[in-house]
Structure 1
């Protein structure tokens, strides 16, 4: 009674929304929160939801949009009673012509995985040719948006069918069938095969979980780089600004890639230096600190931002240097005590 009362309190559209599609929508929302929320994104929940989000959700929604009708063998919970009525009426063995072009539950699940594996790289390929690039937020939004649109199309198409022809996930029938197959096998060989199947599934799930949750013990390092934006808006490691004028700004894009296998808080110090080089030894004769930044980067992700360089020191072949530190920088940052450094040689004129 309580469940029925709560259901009546929902808007009419939500009450009529298919349960399996509602679960898919909730998966999209939960994955977006787990992937983007500051605290939750560091938990194993992000990986668990992300696997289902990438490997199953888009394909399932797409299949649901393509095949809104129930399968030829009776995919809904009332299939057993319908089969009983057909048998009593002398119609056993006859196919339902209204569902000849549909698919059964096993085919639906298999296609969901297969199409997800095909659709996800295609969405990534399209993102690669956009200004957004293949990054976490664009990937979550694009795959999630595709899945939500497919769910909406599937819901509309199901609603256009007669109630008895609409696909419904037969949860109870599947559970009953699974229990019979696992615990009431017909032969001893079936029992052995059931045990092998369960053990194989557990090993597969455990392997994927271990690979996703246990940190890799390979080399740990951080990328530190400078980029510029070309005429098409793409970020490239080329065509850096070389000539500056005192008091006038030019942009340089600073990037950090975290491959330390853990969340790291970085600090960046930008300086303009007048140096002398003699016998492969560099001596800083004058320095001007331009700016300081702090960026927290999750494991296996990267960030970049635009730094507008505004010099006040004039001279030729000055060193525009960026010093990277893990944590806070020292009181006197130098290229020698920095974790990483990158630089450009620039000329600065008075006018």
Structure 2
């Protein structure tokens, strides 16, 4: 029963931070509140929490004034003071971030703020479980007390950083700058998602005779005024929500210097929707050709944001097209 009274507040805080980070990493709709909670929980996970769990798993004891050297049968390790545990936690956490990032680089997930934070949170939960098992093996009075440890650590830091000499002042300032620089560098590197990972994906699909959506069996022989249904699939792989606008054009083209020149164009439809980061949408689109001809071009233009007053392939962020033949209803 005595073990159940051991302090586990530090592990509880890390667990709440890790679970919060995981939950908010998969929330599609971003709001100001979600963003603030994500950043606060993420900052603790990024800078300190998993490292603290790892250090506590290896060194579960708290150093006390009358601590004796552990015996050969003692597997719980030498105790740490609050200051030692704090510094080691920061250092180990930096190594943990580097390790997670390396795994993501060589894995299929890619390196960005989301994947790194999820990896750190999951790793933190595993380390908390290990540290909890380790803490169960030691006496209650040897466990770190969060309130007492925090107070003593602040007092120790205040004592150690007293500006007694010029040399001591320079050394203290250098240590603080180095620590802040290291933590800032890690945070900046994680938050800067590589540009290669930011893109939007577009696809034009049609329904075949079996009722399945396909990217190969498109209707190509149409009649003027006939309604035909196609499907547009858009996937947002950007790091933020995006407003997409689609414009559907029917174009007549003629060959000119190895390319196609548009000689006639009419807008058949326009649609718009917003996607959160990581979200996809399948948009049904029904159009009717308004003029006839062979080798006409049915063009879908995609814009991030609003479309211009005169949409063209040159101004679009992406374009897809089909070659179709449109015959007259009179035969």
TM-score by length of 1: 0.60
**Cα offset, 1:243, TM superposition:** 2.6
1:24 aligns with 2:2: no
8 Å contact from structure 1 (residues 270, 323) kept in 2: yes
Matches within 5 A, 1:290-329: 292-295=271-274, 304-308=280-284, 313=289, 316=295, 318-327=297-306, 329=307
**Cα offset, 1:296, TM superposition:** 5.5
Q: Structure 2: 5+ residue runs without aligned partners?
A: 206-213
CA distance in 2, matches of 1:320, 1:339: 11
**Cα offset, 1:202, TM superposition:** 5.3
The equivalent residue for 2:321 is 344
Coordinate RMSD, CA, aligned: 4.7
Choose the corresponding residue for 1:39, options 13, 18, 32: 32
Matches within 5 A, 1:91-102: 94-97=69-72, 98=74, 101=77
CA distance in 2, matches of 1:188, 1:323: 63
SS in 1 for 2:161: helix
**Cα offset, 1:324, TM superposition:** 0.9
The equivalent residue for 1:283 is 263
1:162 aligns with 2:131: no
Please identify, of 246-255 and 55-64, the stretch whose mean Cα deviation from structure 2 is larger: 246-255
CA 1:69–1:323 in 2, change beyond 3 Å: closer, same or farther?
closer
Choose the corresponding residue for 1:196, options 174, 177, 185: 174
CA distance in 2, matches of 1:19, 1:159: 14
CA distance in 2, matches of 1:52, 1:323: 39
The equivalent residue for 2:246 is 269
The equivalent residue for 1:179 is 158
**Cα offset, 1:118, TM superposition:** 0.5
8 Å contact from structure 1 (residues 274, 284) kept in 2: yes
CA 1:319–1:140 in 2, change beyond 3 Å: closer, same or farther?
farther
CA distance in 1, matches of 2:166, 2:324: 83
CA distance in 1, matches of 2:121, 2:182: 26
Q: Structure 1: 5+ residue runs without aligned partners?
A: 1-11, 87-93, 230-238
CA 1:173–1:191 in 2, change beyond 3 Å: closer, same or farther?
same
The equivalent residue for 1:54 is 46
Q: CA deviation digits over 1:213-268, x for unaligned, max 9? A: 9x9xxx9xx95542589xxxxxxxxx953633777866553245658xxx775231
CA 1:166–1:126 in 2, change beyond 3 Å: closer, same or farther?
farther
Choose the corresponding residue for 1:335, options 299, 312, 316: 312
**Cα offset, 1:179, TM superposition:** 1.7
- Count matched residues: 291
Choose the corresponding residue for 1:69, options 57, 60, 71: 60
CA distance in 1, matches of 2:79, 2:93: 12
Choose the corresponding residue for 2:96, options 106, 109, 115: 115
8 Å contact from structure 2 (residues 302, 318) kept in 1: yes
The equivalent residue for 1:243 is 218
1:150 aligns with 2:127: yes
The equivalent residue for 1:226 is 202
CA 1:159–1:68 in 2, change beyond 3 Å: closer, same or farther?
farther
TM-score by length of 2: 0.63
**Cα offset, 1:174, TM superposition:** 1.9
SS in 1 for 2:154: helix
Q: CA deviation digits over 1:303-345, x for unaligned, max 9? A: 5433455565597553231231524x46x66227955341233
CA 1:167–1:344 in 2, change beyond 3 Å: closer, same or farther?
farther
SS in 2 for 1:183: coil
CA distance in 2, matches of 1:163, 1:59: 22
The equivalent residue for 1:235 is none
